[in-house]
Amino acid sequence: MKNEGKYVLVVGSSNMDLNMYSKRFPTPGETVTGGTFTQSFGGKGANQAVASIRSGSNTVFIGKVGNDTFGTQMLEHLANEGIDTSGVILDPDIVSGVAIILIDSKGQNMISVAPGANKKLVKEDLKDATDIIENATVVILQMEIRLEVIREIFGIASEKKVISILNPAPFKEIPLEVLKKVDIITPNENELYKLHNSLGFKEQQENLHEKISKVANDLHTCGINTIIVTLGNKGCFVSDRKNGEQYHVSAIQVSAIDAVGAGDCFNGVLASRLSKGDNLRTATRYANVAASIAVTRTGAQSSMPFWNEIEKKFIELYE
């Protein structure tokens, strides 16, 4: 792997998404007919890599796919986007990751993932990637891969002062010693409360912003410095201990049709803008704008906006 200059490193999952758009979700035991089916490229890691490169940053993706039709299609697609995929491993002994996604007429979704090769990425697979981790401007991980991989990468990144982001999705308990090595965590509201609870804190009862503020302050006391809570159609909330600030970034009103990958869009663009040198507030605003575009389109990677679209909307809103 060769990558010179500034770049975002994404290590994570790549899935083939099998999407079913229908009026409503079935209840257990029920069959709902009349839906529309599409197949598209997904996986939280690969989605974030596409969001990062489309928003203008050189991007390297490391992960594992099966040596099967889905795996080769996913790799070809990422390479066509311009992403450096030379660190992706094709494993002949396991199938590629697949996600079955139901989307209702309100744009809400339910996702069930068979991780396949994603869960076979082990820390030994990273032995040739030390340079690429150490020289990244920003490294971003999610939780569809093994904890041992997450631990290893954040260990290297924190020693070399690489800006590190953990998107704790889907939520799993994370040891505090790993969290302390991360610069920014980006849970959604639900993941934030699960994380808070997993670290032994009691639930807070106040209104949304007060509650998030208190929960974030609790997490700061554990050594977690920057928390960005994504709130869907309510925007996001930033708690930045370093600068002693907490603020809300307002939602942008749009007609959402499909929220699949919107969180990944936010994360990929956040990483991309931080690697370009934006401060936290500006990078978060760009990420929020980008996610508001993504929800107006179908699919995960197919919904990621390009830099000219993000910049145009950002100028309309903030300048």
Binding stretches for ligand RIB (CB under 6 A):
13, 15, 17, 42-44, 47, 99, 111, 113, 144, 260-261, 263-264, 300
CB-based contacts of 42: which residues, under 8 Å, 6+ apart? 14, 15, 16, 17, 99, 101, 260, 261, 299, 300, 301
Residue 251 φ/ψ, nearest 5 degrees? -70, 155
CB of 299 to ligand RIB, least distance (A): 8
Largest CA distance in the chain: 54
CB of 203 to ligand RIB, least distance (A): 26
Nearer to ligand RIB, 78 or 99 (CB): 99
**Catalytic residue of the set 17, 125, 240, 264:** 264
The residues pairing with 21 across neighbouring beta strands, listed in sequence order, are 36, 103
CB of 111 to ligand RIB, least distance (A): 5
**How many whole angstroms separate alpha carbon 198 and alpha carbon 201?**
7
Q: For residue 254, give Cα distances in angstroms to 78, 233, 289.
A: 28, 9, 11
Name the 3-class secondary structure at 167: coil
CB-based contacts of 28: which residues, under 8 Å, 6+ apart? none
Task: Give the H or E element holding residue 272.
Answer: helix 262-275
Annotated catalytic residue 264: yes
CB of 300 to ligand RIB, least distance (A): 4
CB of 52 to ligand RIB, least distance (A): 14
Q: With both helix axes pointing from N to C terminus, report the angle between 189-198 and 208-221 in degrees, rounded to the nearest 10.
A: 40
Residue nearest to ligand RIB (CB): 42
**How many whole angstroms separate alpha carbon 165 and alpha carbon 179?**
10
Nearer to ligand RIB, 44 or 297 (CB): 44
Nearer to ligand RIB, 113 or 140 (CB): 113
- Residue 234 class from Cβ within 10 Å (0-12 exposed, 13-18 middle, 19+ buried)? middle
CB of 168 to ligand RIB, least distance (A): 12
Q: Which residues are catalytic?
A: 264
